[in-house]
Amino acid sequence: MNMIKNKNVKTFKDRLYNSMQGLSVSAFAKKCDMSETVIRDYLSGKTYPSLTRLEVIAEKCNVSFNWLATGYRLEVFDPKDDDDDVYNENIYRIPVYKKQLPTKEEAQYQRYIRETPPVMNYPVVEGWASHRGLDIKKLIIYWAKGDLMSPEIENNNGLIINTDITEIVDGATYLIEYENFTLLRKIRLTLSSWILICNNDQYSTIEVPKAHFDKYNIVGRVVQIIKDVF
């Protein structure tokens, strides 16, 4: 299988408009069982649909989910053909976790974590990860909740987490486990401690002395923030 991209339909809003096949916004919204406001926001590029809504739109419009989400479609291709539109990239599905997070080893195999499985999977093109120097098999997505890290990270944002952590980078945001709690914090480094910082001033910071570092499990570092994942 090879992946072919239609260069004439570069953005999601263009692909959505193409999928409407001449229907009005009102008629298309009714067809997809969504509000006109939602569809207009998609068409303006203001918001992007969740995976669930992408699946509904693809089914209602009889188009490929993969094409609608990424602009790529899978086709059989003759290697002898010389076509600049051909991309030999794979689509990977990164597991999305809503509550408890996996260890590095467990995340790679998408095993159940504390009896909590991934709630969904998110499609990502292999080239995106390799371009950023990431091992796609060591990525997970955390489904953020609440306003603790707003405005940078909002409620329902998806966070692509790199679980292949070799060192703590000062000022980066990490997913951390402490006892039965999952913490999303920005870490500031001092000579004697970690300072776990919230973006929202309504919440207090946490100072972790060196003697307690081993009590905090760094699940991974945030490398990408995605608009609502659901």
How far is it, in rounded angstroms, from Cα 18 to Cα 58?
Answer: 12
Residue 142's closest CA among 171, 167, 174, 181? 174
Residue 169 lies in a domain: yes
How far is it, in rounded angstroms, from Cα 140 to Cα 158?
Answer: 10
The one-letter code for the residue type at 81 is D
Q: Are residues 209 and 144 in the same domain?
A: yes
Contact 117, 42 (CB under 8 A): no
Q: Are residues 66 and 95 in the same domain?
A: no
Domain boundary among 75, 103, 133: 75
Q: What is the pLDDT, as a whole number, of residue 188?
A: 95
Q: What is the pLDDT, as a whole number, of residue 7?
A: 43
Q: Is residue 80 classed as helix, strand or coil in its secondary structure?
A: coil
Q: Are residues 165 and 58 in the same domain?
A: no
Domain boundary among 45, 75, 105: 75
DSSP-assigned letters across all residues of 160-218:
EEE---SSPPTT-EEEEEETTEEEEEEEEE-SSEEEEE-SSTTS--EEEEGGGGGGEEE
Residue 82 lies in a domain: no
Q: What is the pLDDT, as a whole number, of residue 111?
A: 54
How far is it, in rounded angstroms, from Cα 66 to Cα 90?
Answer: 11
The one-letter code for the residue type at 31 is K
Sheet with strand 206-209: strands edge to edge:
120-125, 91-97, 139-143, 158-162, 216-226, 173-178, 181-189, 193-197, 206-209
Q: Are residues 175 and 207 in the same domain?
A: yes
CATH of the domain at 63: 1.10.260.40
CATH of the domain at 134: 2.10.109.10
Residue 83 lies in a domain: no
52: exposed, middle or buried (Cβ count in 10 Å: 0-12, 13-18, 19+): exposed
Q: Are residues 214 and 136 in the same domain?
A: yes
Q: Are residues 118 and 215 in the same domain?
A: yes
Q: What is the pLDDT, as a whole number, of residue 226?
A: 83
Q: What is the pLDDT, as a whole number, of residue 186?
A: 94
Residue 29 lies in a domain: yes
Q: What is the pLDDT, as a whole number, of residue 177?
A: 85
Residue 112: other Cβ atoms inside 10 A: 11
Q: If the chain, 230 residues long, is cut into consecutive pieces of 10 residues, what is the mean pLDDT of each piece?
A: 47 86 90 91 86 85 81 53 52 78 61 64 79 86 84 86 88 88 90 92 91 91 79
Q: Are residues 130 and 170 in the same domain?
A: yes
Q: Are residues 114 and 26 in the same domain?
A: no
Q: Are residues 61 and 98 in the same domain?
A: no
Domain boundary among 48, 75, 102: 75
Q: Are residues 55 and 123 in the same domain?
A: no
How far is it, in rounded angstroms, from Cα 154 to Cα 144?
Answer: 7
Domain that holds residue 217: 91-226
Domain count, the chain: 2
Residue 18 lies in a domain: yes
pTM: 0.59
Q: Are residues 210 and 114 in the same domain?
A: yes
